[in-house]
Structure 1
């Protein structure tokens, strides 16, 4: 099963006596692998059964998001700033507002 893993995983595999064959991805491969990893981590958030598991999987999602934005020259602080700006202009999700219909047109 070939997939993108955190940097220390191959060493942990080897330390357990197993074989870990790796290679470094080029930029295009890395970009695609990060999007696949994001899908994987989101699925794990969805299937998490406890609050602690949700937190752990959300941390994995954040780590992947940071890697994605770093490819574009940004950092975690930029994600947080952009989220803050959006929260100020459009709100957050605290009110659990479900839009049933928006009428004609779109966003």
Structure 2
């Protein structure tokens, strides 16, 4: 079966432990970033379909990998989130914008 997708680091080992062959390659920086974007979409779609908390952890793992690639540590990401929250708010008030006039 062909995949051509980014997988977690231990997946090839897990496949080998099932007496299967994992054919892999190491992505260059450009391909890696593209595959991270694809993986983020995949994980968000899986969460939307399943509403499973494990999928939220997968989304966060991909976000951390993207941050690492972009040179943003977790603390900086949280700082950016707080700044945006102070400027534009969060989603706690459950506000739905119906229209503007």
TM over 0.5: yes
RMSD (Å), alpha carbons: 1.1
1:72-106 CA distances to partner (integer Å, 9 max, x unpaired)? 11112222111111112211101110111233xxx
2:30 is the alignment partner of 1:32: no
Quote how far apart the aligned CAs of 1:70 are.
1.3
Q: State the 4+ residue runs in structure 1 displaced beyond 2 angstroms.
A: none
TM-score (norm: length of structure 1): 0.86
Distance 1:74 1:34 in 2: 15
Aligned to 1:99: 97
Distance 1:61 1:78 in 2: 18
Counterparts of residues 2-17 of structure 1 (less than 5 Å): 2-17=4-19
Distance 2:76 2:18 in 1: 38
TM-score (norm: length of structure 2): 0.91
Quote how far apart the aligned CAs of 1:7 are.
0.4
2:62 is the alignment partner of 1:64: yes
SS of equivalent residue, structure 1 residue 4:
coil
Unmatched segments (≥5 aa) in structure 2: none
Distance 2:14 2:85 in 1: 39
Distance 2:12 2:58 in 1: 17
Q: Of the candidates 60, 79, 87, which is equivalent to residue 89 of structure 1? A: 87
Distance 2:72 2:31 in 1: 19
